[in-house]
Amino acid sequence: MADFIKTQTSFANGEVAPEFYSRDDINGLSKLENMDVLSGGGLSRRAGLIHVSDLPSAARLIPFSVAESQDYILALMDGYIYIFHNDALYQMLQSPWDYDALSHLQYAQRFGTMIFVHPDFPPYTLRLGANGFDLLQFSFSRNDADMTLNIPFMKFDDASDIKITVTSNSAGNNFATFTTNQDFWTPDNVNGRLYLLDKQWVITEYTSPTQVVAYTNGAYTLPTAPISDWRESVFSTRRGWPCSITFHQDRLVFGGSRDWPGGVWLSKVGQHNNFDVGTGLDDEAIFITLLSQQRQQICTVVSSDNLQILTSVGEWAISNKPLTPSSVDIKQHTSVGSFMGRYLPPQKIEGATVFMSSGGRDIRELSLDELNENYNANDLCAFAKHLITSPTDLSYNAATHQLFVVRSDGKMAVLNQNSALGISAWGMYQTHGNFVSVASIDGVTYVVVSRDGMACLERFDATAMQDAGKYNFAFRASAIPFRASGHNPHRLKLRKISARVWNTKSISINGSRITLPNDIYNDRHSGYCGDVSLSQLGTIRDCINAPWTIHGADTYPLTVLSVTMHGWYSV
C-alpha cells in the first residue's frame, strides 16, 4: 500500500458527469446541491429565499429596468400582469395571453417601453408613464395623406398561383369584390390588408373561400384582367405575427413570423413602428430572408456588437455598422440551432450571448474569435450535461456571476461562471416545492416557487438562512472518486479528512457532525475560521464512490476553502 496526502483547493468545475471522473485535470465534484462555487474556488452554502408576495397562480417573470431605483418585476399569469416594485405590488393589468401562450412570448425593452410578440397574437406595448403602466396593442405608423399603414407586404408561397378578379361592390365607391381563381380566403382574412392596384386594401367581409369584400381609401380604376401581382400584409390573423424581437442600431427588429419563419424585418431608424422600405434610403426599413439549404425558423434575434439571428438550425449575424438597406452583410457562422420548445431568453455573459441549443441539453456561448470576424458556439455545460434536462426558464445575474436554469421537474441548475478566474461550475438548487420561473434585475434574482399548492414570488438573499423564512434546505458537496498518481485505486484506507473552513458554524463530513470551537469569532466573522478534521474512517473497497461528502441542513453559514485526505491506497 502507498501513503498519500491529497488536497483539493479548487472546485472550479462544480458537479461533473461520471464520464469525467477519471480525468486528472478536473477540479470537480460528483454532487453539488444547494451550494455555490466561489470566485476563489471554494464552496459556500447557497443564499436563502425571502418571501415577497403570494401570487394567484403560477407566473412567468420578466425584468423591467428603466433607471436606478426604477426596477420592476413583471409576473405574467393567465390573463394578468402583476407588477412589483421594491418588493411590493405596484400595479395589476389585464393581458391578452393565457398561461400556455406565455412560454412563447418574447419581448424587448427600450427605456420605459417594452414590446411583446407572439406568433399567434398581435404585438403589445407596455409603457411606463407618470401614472403607471399601460398595455396597448402595438400600432404601425400611418401615412397622413391616405391613412395607409407602414407595414410590410409580401407574396406568400401558397398565393403564388392565385389571381384576383376585382369587381365593383354595392357598399360604395371605395369598396370592391375580390374573387380568386381557386379557394383561398378564410374568415381570418377579415381586417387583414392587401396591396394591389398601387393601393392598400382592408378586407371587411368574408363571403366564401373564393370571394371577399375589401375597402380602400380613395377612388380606384377597375382592371380589365385578373391580377396576379398582389401582396399580403406580412403580419395578420391569417398569416400570424412576429415570433421574436429586439432593438438594434435604433431600429426595431422582428425576426420570423408564423407563416414566414425565415424573414427579418427592420424598421426605419428612429421610427420603430414604420416598416416601409421606401426607395432604399439609408434610414429606411429593411427586409431580408435567410437563404440556406435547410428551411430555418428564426427562434430569436439578439442585439450585440452585431445583429445575431438564432434559428432552429444555426446562428447568423449581420455585421454592418451602420446597417443600411444597401449594405447587409449577413452570414451563417455556426450550425448548432436554438431550442424551439419554448422561449428561453438568451443571456449576455461577459460579452457573449448564451443560449439553449436545439436539443435542450446544451447551453452555448456565442462569441467572436480573436479577430472579431467569426463566431464560435462553445458548450458551457460540456462537463455537466446530466444537469440540463427539460429547461423551462433562463436568467443570468451579472452581480453574482450566476446563470439560473429552471427545469420542468422543479429543480434549478445553476452555473457559477467567472472566466477571468477560471470558474465554470454547475450545481443544483432545490427547495421545498418547485421552482417555476426566474428573473434577475440589478443584482437580485427573483423566482416563482410553487409550495403546497400555492404560488409565491421570492428572491435570493445572502443573509437568509432558510427559504421563505421557515423551510430549511439540505446542502451537499461530494468528491469525485479518488485517483492517485494517475491510477484508479482498488482499495482506499482513509486515516483523516480535513476541511479548511471560513466563517462556518456547523459542518458534517461523511455523516459525522463536527463540533466547531466558538472562541475564534470576531467582529468580521460570526463563524469559525480554521481547520476541522475527521479521523479513523476505515477502508473503502469500492473506490468508484465519493470518498468524502460535506453536507447538512443547519441554518448557519458554511464556507469550505479546501479538503485534504490522508491515508493509504493500493492499486
Q: What is the mean pLDDT of residues 276-304?
A: 90
In 284-318, which positions are buried (b, 16+ CB within 10 angstroms) versus exposed (e)?
bbbbeebeeeeebbbbbbbbbebbbbbbbbbbbbb
pLDDT at position 491, please? 86
Q: What is the mean pLDDT of residues 260-288?
A: 95
Q: Report the length, in residues, of the chain.
A: 571
Contact 311, 330 (CB under 8 A): no
Is pLDDT at 170 greater than 80 in this prediction?
Answer: yes
Contacts of 342 (CB under 8 A, 6+ apart): 103, 104, 392
Cell of 309: 439571428
pLDDT at position 144, please? 81
Per DSSP, the three-state class of 187 is: helix
pLDDT at position 571, please? 81
List residues bridging with 413 in a β-sheet.
405, 428
Helix residue ranges, H only, 387-450: none
What span, in angstroms and rounded, lies between the C-alpha atoms of 65 and 73? 8
pLDDT confidence band for 518 (50 / 70 / 90): low
Location of C-alpha cell 470566485: 39
Beta strands in 452-557 (DSSP E): 454-461, 475-479, 491-504, 507-509, 512-514, 528-540, 549-552
pLDDT at position 373, please? 85
Report which of 362, 471, 380, 460 is spatially closest to residue 61, judged by C-alpha positions: 460
Q: What is the mean pLDDT of residues 211-224?
A: 95
- Beta 330-334 vs 347-349: how paired, if at all? unpaired
Location of C-alpha cell 479518488: 482
Chain segment 551-566, per-residue pLDDT in tens:
999 898 999 999 999 9
pLDDT at position 145, please? 77
List residues bridging with 17 in a β-sheet.
none
Report which of 490, 491, 493, 497 is spatially closest to residue 549, judged by C-alpha positions: 497
Contacts of 562 (CB under 8 A, 6+ apart): 7, 8, 9, 42, 499, 500
Cell of 156: 406568400
pLDDT at position 147, please? 80
pLDDT at position 295, please? 78
Q: What is the mean pLDDT of residues 341-352?
A: 95
Is pLDDT at 521 greater than 70 in this prediction?
Answer: no
Report which of 261, 408, 253, 259 is spatially closest to residue 342, judged by C-alpha positions: 408
What span, in angstroms and rounded, lies between the C-alpha atoms of 188 and 214? 14
Q: In one letter, which amino acid is 492?
A: L
What span, in angstroms and rounded, lies between the C-alpha atoms of 361 and 357? 7
Q: Give the HSE-up count for residue 57: Cα atoms under 13 Å, Cβ half-sphere.
A: 9
Contact 367, 376 (CB under 8 A): yes
Q: What is the mean pLDDT of residues 472-488?
A: 90
Is pLDDT at 339 greater than 80 in this prediction?
Answer: yes
Q: Which of 25-39, 108-122, 359-373, 425-439 has the lowest mean pLDDT?
A: 359-373
Q: What is the mean pLDDT of residues 160-187?
A: 97
Q: What is the mean pLDDT of residues 41-59?
A: 98
Is pLDDT at 2 greater than 80 in this prediction?
Answer: yes
Chain segment 221-257, per-residue pLDDT in tens:
999 999 999 999 999 999 999 999 999 999 999 999 9
pLDDT at position 69, please? 77
- Beta 113-118 vs 106-110: how paired, if at all? antiparallel
3-state percent helix, strand, coil for the chain, nearest multiple of 5: 5, 50, 45
Contact 91, 83 (CB under 8 A): yes
- CA torsion 484-485-487-490 (nearest 10°) is -40
Domains of the chain: 2-46+475-570 (2.60.120.260), 153-233 (2.40.10)
pLDDT at position 486, please? 78
The pTM assigned to this predicted structure is 0.94
Q: What is the mean pLDDT of residues 36-49?
A: 97
- Beta 251-257 vs 211-215: how paired, if at all? unpaired
What span, in angstroms and rounded, lies between the C-alpha atoms of 48 and 394? 19
Contacts of 323 (CB under 8 A, 6+ apart): 248, 249, 251, 266, 286, 307
What span, in angstroms and rounded, lies between the C-alpha atoms of 414 and 429? 7
Chain segment 137-166, per-residue pLDDT in tens:
999 999 987 889 999 999 999 999 999 999
pLDDT confidence band for 5 (50 / 70 / 90): very high
What span, in angstroms and rounded, lies between the C-alpha atoms of 368 and 348? 13
- When computed from its CA atoms, the radius of gyration of the chain, rounded to whole angstroms, is 29
Mean pLDDT for all residues in the chain = 94
pLDDT at position 255, please? 98
What span, in angstroms and rounded, lies between the C-alpha atoms of 132 and 444? 23
Q: Which of 45-49, 98-102, 485-489 has the lowest mean pLDDT?
A: 485-489
Chain segment 430-479, per-residue pLDDT in tens:
999 999 999 999 999 999 999 999 999 999 999 999 999 999 999 999 99
pLDDT at position 519, please? 52
pLDDT at position 293, please? 65
In 115-148, which positions are buried (b, 16+ CB within 10 angstroms) versus exposed (e)?
bbbbbebbbbbbebeeeebeeeebebbeeeeeeb
Q: Which of 135-139, 351-355, 538-542 has the lowest mean pLDDT?
A: 538-542
Percent of the chain with pLDDT over 70: 98
